[in-house]
Structure 1
Amino acid sequence: MKAITIPTPGGPEALVLSDVDAPEPAAGEVRIKVAAAGVNRADVMQRMGHYNPPPGMTEIPGLEVSGVIDAVGDDVSGWVVGDQVCALLVGGGYAEQVTVPAGQVLPVPQGVDLVDAAALPEVTSTVWSNVFLTANLQPGETLLVHGGSSGIGTMAIQLAREVGARVAVTAGTQDKLDVCRELGADILINYREQDFVEELAKATDGHGADVILDNMGAKYLPRNVEALATAGRLVIIGLQGGVKGELDINTLLRKRGAVIATSLRARPVAEKATIVAAVREHVWPMVADGRVRPIVHSRHPLAQASAAHAEMEASTHIGKILLVP
């Protein structure tokens, strides 16, 4: 089959379309003929040599796909050849076929195009596991989402809106903020021109954010802690702003706050299956009835994966970027 490999880490040109052996499903796995693969920041980090897959896992990038099941391994129930699905992966999505544990597979939601369904597994699993299962966002609370126009951001806005939370976002252009508003964001902050701590304080009468979903890491750590409400929860899911920051423990103590760092890729299969089951139970009904939808910015042929990565690094996109074999 055709797949994207990374012979030598580097820029977008490091992504090479190669011929590789097609995978065979092991016990408990299904194989998916890929209709589309989602492009994520983690893929960019892997391409640069900063985010290797867990030991023993495929080195082909790609953390989510949609497609049709074309083979089923032993000890799999609930899935048959021909099912239209999408799936959360540990890797391998930038390919014509991929195998995945059956517990990480989801049906394509009613009303969603098969290709566009590739935009759902990673963002829904990330947002639901972090904002709701870990940070326990409640109706009436305020959620601050950094990078509100990203794939994760656009999903976080919609899900928080649906549970009755107030949503604040940061983004770098008015066009991006306008989309965030259309999706349900209440507080719009242009991080290039405004200080998000000050703007959030103004908009919440000094209350701050009950939950912050942060993709920046070190760069925003001190200000994120300052922006927390009493008993607020800061969840760090990315390192775009560096890996080492200064934590003001006195401020954190006074606010009785929590700083939580999580990742999804390296979790055990059973934990991922639990998250995917929760997504299917809680998020899929919202998608099926149109209250929540995937936001797809562009589609690129698999052979032009380098162009997709260049687009992501330019940060001109809103929502998800997809690769189509």
Structure 2
Amino acid sequence: MKAAVLKQAGGPENIVVEDRAIPAPSEGWVLIKVKAFGLNRSELMTRKGLSPGVKFPRVLGIECVGEVKDDPSGEFKPGQKVAAFMGGMGRDFDGGYAEYAVLPKHLLMPFNSNLAWEQLGAMPEMFQTVYGSLHLALKIQPGETLLIRGGTSSIGMLASQLAKNYGLTVIATTRSGQKEDLLLKNGADHVVIDDGDIQQKIKEIISSGVDKVLELVGTSALRDSLACIAPGGTACMTGMLAEQWSVADFAPMDFMPAAVSLTTYDSGQIRVSDKHFQEFINDVESGAVKLKIGRVFSLLQIAEAHKLMEDNSAGGKIVVVT
């Protein structure tokens, strides 16, 4: 089989596609024929050596979709379509950047769909992150206002649609004025050009501040995002587009406004149910939700795909088909 192997931390050129033997599953593990997978910012950080504890060489990839090839327990039948994500994929053990992957059974989500693999490959982690952030962490309610900081990311684009469909007023940010129309067509009610200090711009739209914030830029924007929230509101830090893990000299009483809450969402800790994932697939099939796919690559083009992700110029989810 072909597998994209990160030999050592560094640039995209360090990911080398090589031939490997198809692995055999042991008890509790399942062999998956990988059909497609999406690229994620966390994989970029792992590639750069910023994910503690990862040993090289390693096959990256925190998600994939495909078909069951062999389940020693017999629980999953050959040909069953499944998705998998997180749980140590691509970090503690080899992940989805390969034609076959052996994965823990508890990570698998069975589903049914006739969608193309390139569409299905965009879904697992993106859906889990968006749905979990909005409903499990932020607990959004119809009629609320939601600020999405990092609105043109694939997570931001999907969050805008799901929040709008749920009855929220959505404000999305972008650093480029040329992307304002894109965000409005995607469901945003208001677009704010992000220069790093947007709290006054938000207050000009909603004087009291927003109810909820989905923070996708990360720690570099977090303090300003918290200042955009009305008392009683909540921010969820989900993304790290700025690739910064921590806040230097964090002083809670100074950093956080009074009566404003801060939470996070990590699909590696809390997972959205298989039922909700199937419902999401059904919504995509019906056209109720439109996936924004930036580019589709082959496995042999994985280094090029990583370069595009690092340039932040994909305009949507980057997907690799095997």
Q: Which category describes the TM-score, using the shorter chain as reference length? A: 0.7 to 0.9
Deviation at 1:52, TM superposition (A): 4.6
Instruction: State the AA in 1 paired with 2:25.
Output: P
Pair 1:226 & 2:227 matched: yes
Pair 1:317 & 2:314 matched: yes
Map Cα deviations across residues 4-52 of structure 1 (whole Å, 9 max, x no partner).
1111111111111123342333444432211211111011001000125
Deviation at 1:163, TM superposition (A): 1.0
Indicate the larger mover: 228-237 or 37-46.
228-237
- Which of the pair is proportionally richer in helix? 1
Q: TM-score, normalization: structure 1?
A: 0.86
**Rounded Cα–Cα distance in structure 2 between residues aligned with 1:33 and 1:315:** 29
SS of the aligned residue for 2:227 comes to helix
Q: Which residue of 2 aligns with 1:128?
A: 131
SS of the aligned residue for 1:115 comes to helix
Map Cα deviations across residues 166-206 of structure 1 (whole Å, 9 max, x no partner).
111111224433222112111111214x84222221122x1
**Rounded Cα–Cα distance in structure 1 between residues aligned with 2:315 and 2:61:** 19
Contact 2:169 2:189 in 1 (8 A): yes
Instruction: State the AA in 2 paired with 1:93.
Output: G
Indicate the larger mover: 7-16 or 59-68.
59-68
Q: Go from structure 1 to structure 2 and tell me whether the alpha carbon gap of 1:27 and 1:54 turns closer, same or farther (over 3 Å shift).
A: farther
Q: Which residue of 2 aligns with 1:190?
A: 193
Q: Which residue of 2 aligns with 1:74?
A: 73
Q: State the superposition RMSD in angstroms.
A: 2.5
Q: Which residue of 2 aligns with 1:42?
A: 42
Matches within 5 A, 1:57-136: 59-74=58-73, 76=75, 79-89=76-86, 90-91=89-90, 92-107=95-110, 110=113, 112-136=115-139
Q: Which residue of 1 aligns with 2:175?
A: 172
Deviation at 1:138, TM superposition (A): 0.9
**Rounded Cα–Cα distance in structure 1 between residues aligned with 2:27 and 2:11:** 37
**Rounded Cα–Cα distance in structure 1 between residues aligned with 2:227 and 2:116:** 42
**Rounded Cα–Cα distance in structure 2 between residues aligned with 1:18 and 1:10:** 18
**Rounded Cα–Cα distance in structure 2 between residues aligned with 1:6 and 1:183:** 35
SS of the aligned residue for 2:50 comes to coil
- Equivalent position to 2:159, from 148, 156, 160: 156
Uncovered stretches (5+) of structure 1, i.e. residues with no partner: none
Instruction: State the AA in 2 paired with 1:293.
Output: K
Contact 1:5 1:17 in 2 (8 A): yes
Instruction: State the AA in 2 paired with 1:142.
Output: T
Instruction: State the AA in 2 paired with 1:232.
Output: G
Q: Which residue of 1 aligns with 2:253?
A: 249
Contact 1:12 1:306 in 2 (8 A): yes
Contact 1:31 1:70 in 2 (8 A): yes
Indicate the larger mover: 311-320 or 28-37.
28-37
Matches within 5 A, 1:10-29: 10-29=10-29
Matches within 5 A, 1:259-274: 259-265=262-268, 267=269, 271-272=270-271
**Rounded Cα–Cα distance in structure 2 between residues aligned with 1:119 and 1:53:** 27
Instruction: State the AA in 1 paired with 2:202.
Output: L
Contact 1:210 1:231 in 2 (8 A): yes
Contact 2:175 2:194 in 1 (8 A): yes
SS of the aligned residue for 2:117 comes to coil
Q: Which residue of 2 aligns with 1:3?
A: 3
Map Cα deviations across residues 45-102 of structure 1 (whole Å, 9 max, x no partner).
01000125779x99311122222222223162xx321123333242311111113344
Map Cα deviations across residues 273-303 of structure 1 (whole Å, 9 max, x no partner).
xx24253265344334221132111111212
Pair 1:302 & 2:306 matched: no
Q: Which residue of 1 aligns with 2:212?
A: 211
Contact 1:27 1:74 in 2 (8 A): yes
**Rounded Cα–Cα distance in structure 2 between residues aligned with 1:58 and 1:157:** 37
SS of the aligned residue for 1:317 comes to coil
**Rounded Cα–Cα distance in structure 1 between residues aligned with 2:275 and 2:232:** 25
- Equivalent position to 1:291, from 279, 288, 292: 288
Instruction: State the AA in 2 paired with 1:183.
Output: N
**Rounded Cα–Cα distance in structure 2 between residues aligned with 1:186 and 1:105:** 36
Contact 1:149 1:177 in 2 (8 A): no
SS of the aligned residue for 1:95 comes to coil
Q: Percent identity?
A: 28
